[in-house]
Amino acid sequence: MHTPVTVRSRNRRETAAGMARGALMALLLAAGVPMLAGCSDPDFRDGLQAYQTGDYARAAHVWRRLAESGDRLAQHHLANLYRAGLGVERDPGRALHWAREAANGGHPEAYAHVAFLYQAGLGGRPRLREAYQWYRLAARNLPAGAKRREAIRNRDRLAERLTPAERRAAARWLARYGGE
């Protein structure tokens, strides 16, 4: 018989980071590879095939070339490889860089990815206000479905942890960035 294991966190930050990592994994599984199958770019499909066969270094090579030329989908998925250390050395800073590139280019799933990276504090301390503003943008721009519901849940959970002044600052940022 399997005995459940209880893991205790030393502090709330570790618990929040663990929850955020779990949320990203769910987001990646829900939004990731199955959605990519419809991509028509032959180079991107080469990267996808490499990814699906476990040749992450090749996928990273293909997607990096595309990402550097401005392909938002490649930027988003290259960020995932850097975040997880698949085919490249794990590098939260590069993960954030490529996720921000994709998000700045208008890729709605990248909005949620940037939010997660800020929330988890990958590459530094958690930046909850920034995570909240990106989750707000994701919640508004993702199509209806599981990914949007997850962004809304994460946005609402973070809103409870922010001060009114932080929420107002996020609203000002969103008005400039996202046209709200």
Residue 83: which domain range?
15-32+41-177
Supply the pLDDT for residue 49.
96
* d(C-alpha 162, C-alpha 168), whole Å: 10
Question: What CATH number does the domain containing 124 carry?
Answer: 1.25.40.10
Query: Does residue 90 sit in helix, strand or coil?
Result: coil
Is residue 2 domain-resident?
no
Supply the pLDDT for residue 39.
53
Confirm whether pTM is higher than 0.85. Answer: no
Is residue 157 domain-resident?
yes
Is residue 10 domain-resident?
no
* d(C-alpha 93, C-alpha 101), whole Å: 12
Is residue 5 domain-resident?
no
Q: Which residues contact 143 (CB under 8 A, 6 or more apart)?
A: 108
Supply the pLDDT for residue 102.
97
Cβ atoms 113, 76 nearer than 8 A: yes
Please count the other Cβ atoms lying within 10 Å of the Cβ belonging to residue 12. Answer: 9
pLDDT in tens, the chain (180 residues): 333 222 233 334 434 444 444 444 444 433 444 344 445 578 899 999 999 999 999 999 999 999 999 999 999 999 999 999 999 999 999 999 999 999 999 999 999 999 999 999 986 899 999 999 999 999 999 999 999 999 999 999 999 999 999 999 999 998 987 655
Is residue 154 domain-resident?
yes
How many domains are contained in the chain? 1
Cβ atoms 119, 19 nearer than 8 A: no
